[in-house]
Amino acid sequence: MAVGGWIQKFLKLSCNEYLVEVPVAFITEPLLRVWLIEDTHRPFPKEGFKLLCHDTNQSGNRVAIIEETAQIFYYLSHARYITTKEGMRAMKRKYDFELFGTCPRVHCENQPLLPVGLHDSPAKSYMKCFCPKCRDIYRPPPGSPALDGAAFGTSFPHLFLQNYLEICPHKPQNSYIPRISGFKIHKDAPELKHYHNTSNTR
């Protein structure tokens, strides 16, 4: 079977449309290979690595575990690859198509979002979307695949924007001002006092 065949099949799954293709040569780079196999403490690391890079045939009752190890190795490799020049270029094409959705905040005016993880370790949280304009995070658009956030990591959107300063938006000029009957709510109103008191205790 062709080298890298597992990756192509993995990326064809509709749940992986947010991922770019990581070259096998990148994954097999010695430092990354050693880290994946020795330091991530996944079960069947060598078998998982071989499956990921060489699409080796697996059999027996451990197939599902090896497959999961290969997937997690791909996510971790992906998080590193998308911070390289080539990886960022591939992600930029997805960003330009607004594949990650647009910010639901009205005053962000449909600003395209970028994927981000809340953790760099796998199996801790699903991918979130970062808005470069309001600089907050959101759940992916309804119907989006639930991808492990470690496939993108915590640093990606910020490194991406530093690399593509020309698409880094300015801070939004407007924000929503709550009103009652057309009047701004006074800072001493019970609603605002409650809001500020509870936010101070978090």
Rounded to a whole number of angstroms, the CA Rg of the chain reads 21
Q: Is 133 in the site for Zn ion (CB under 5 A)?
A: yes
Question: Alpha-carbon dihedral of residues 111, 112, 115, 116, nearest 10 degrees?
Answer: -20
Q: Is 129 in the site for Zn ion (CB under 5 A)?
A: no
Positions in 88-117 near Zn ion (CB under 5 A) = 103, 105, 108
Q: What is the DSSP letter of 37?
A: I
Give least dist CB 20 to Zn ion, A.
Answer: 24
- Which of 40, 29, 41 has the alpha carbon at shortest distance from 84? 29
Rounded to 5 degrees, what are φ and ψ at 98?
A: 55, 40
The residue count of the chain comes to: 202
Query: Of 22 and 113, which CB lies nearer to Zn ion in the complex structure?
Result: 113
**Residue range at the interface with Zn ion (CB under 5 A); choices 21-29, 47-55, 82-90, 130-138:** 130-138
Query: Of 103 and 127, which CB lies nearer to Zn ion in the complex structure?
Result: 103
Give least dist CB 138 to Zn ion, A.
Answer: 8
**Interface contacts to Zn ion, rule CB under 5 A:** 103, 105, 108, 131, 133-134
